[in-house]
């Protein structure tokens, strides 16, 4: 079973509280989502392997550690996942970025794919799939299935807010995927929005609606 890690660092929780606030403007919302994504990246990359290297300081030779050539791809689920990419790239600048476009059909609530562009060597990379919201889990499950069909072996899912229903759906469909979230909320409402959540992440990021 994939592990669920709730990132309860005070800075993440403080910023998430501001993100949830309906009075937060799109500009501020974007900045905060980017900052939280950067802080979350710190924890999501905790298992990256290190190798020992020697460097010559001005004083002596030091035995030090560097990341051992990890090949990573960030895959935001469009649109709202885009808001988390730049924050993560600040910590993992060598990562490639693939894009997958999915939207939830408002009638059926099922994900519809409309765009995909991945790095050519995506099957050799560790994937961090990013989306602020894990609601029914339909979009995340579809995106993970899609990545696996392209030969990807290692996938982590990173979201700001998850509903218990979304976590269960991902765990049931893909029990090898670890999930990293800043909060697990109460439930979904009748329109499958997360309660209390933050509203529509894409609309709040981009000022649409």
Binding site for ligand URA (CB under 6 A): 80, 133, 135, 193-194, 197, 200-202
Residue with tokens 């974007």, as numbered in its chain: 30
Find the shortest distance in angstroms from Cβ 60 to ligand PRP: 50
Q: Are 148 and 100 in contact (CB under 8 A)?
A: no
Active site residue 64: no
Residue 39 φ/ψ, nearest 5 degrees? -65, -40
**Residue 147 binds to ligand PRP (criterion: CB under 6 A):** no
Q: For residue 108, indicate whether it is catalytic.
A: yes
Give the DSSP H or E segment for 121.
none
Q: For residues 153-172, which are near ligand PRP according to CB under 6 A?
A: 166
Closer CB to ligand URA, 7 or 201, in the complex = 201
Tokens of 157: 């899912």
What is the nearest approach in angstroms of ligand PRP to the Cβ of residue 62?
A: 44
* Encoded tokens for 144: 């993970």
For ligand URA, the closer of residues 118 and 166 by Cβ is: 166
For residue 121, indicate whether it is catalytic: no
CB-based contacts of 84, cutoff 8 Å, min separation 6: 33, 34, 36, 37, 76, 130, 131, 132, 158, 160
Which residue reads 């990359």 in tokens? 45
Q: Which of 104, 125, 185, 204 is catalytic?
A: 104
Is there a catalytic annotation at residue 105?
A: no
Residue 124: both structure tokens together: 């050799």
Q: Which does 98 bind (CB under 5 to 8 A by kind): ligand PRP, ligand URA, none?
A: none
Binding site for ligand PRP (CB under 6 A): 77-80, 102-104, 111, 131-140, 166, 192, 200-202
């Amino acid at each position: 079973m994939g592990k669920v890690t709730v990132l309860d660092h005070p800075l993440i929780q403080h910023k998430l509280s501001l993100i949830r606030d309906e009075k937060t403007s799109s500009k501020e919302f974007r900045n905060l989502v980017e900052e939280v994504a950067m802080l979350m990246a710190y924890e999501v990359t905790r298992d990256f392997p290190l190798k020992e290297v020697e460097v010559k300081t001005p004083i002596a030779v030091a035995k030090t550690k560097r990341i051992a050539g990890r090949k990573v791809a960030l895959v935001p689920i469009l649109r709202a996942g885009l808001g988390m990419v730049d924050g993560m790239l600040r910590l993992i600048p060598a990562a490639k970025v693939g894009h997958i476009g999915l939207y939830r059909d408002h009638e059926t609530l099922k994900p519809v794919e409309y765009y995909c562009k991945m790095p050519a060597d995506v099957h050799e990379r560790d994937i961090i799939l990013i989306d602020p919201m894990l609601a029914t889990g339909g979009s995340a499950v579809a995106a993970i299935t899609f990545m696996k069909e392209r030969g990807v072996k290692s996938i982590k899912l990173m979201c700001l807010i998850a509903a218990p229903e979304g976590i269960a759906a991902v765990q049931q469909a893909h029990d090898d995927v670890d999930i990293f979230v800043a909060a697990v909320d109460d439930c979904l409402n009748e329109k499958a929005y997360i309660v209390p959540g933050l509203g529509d992440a894409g609309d709040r990021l981009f000022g649409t609606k």
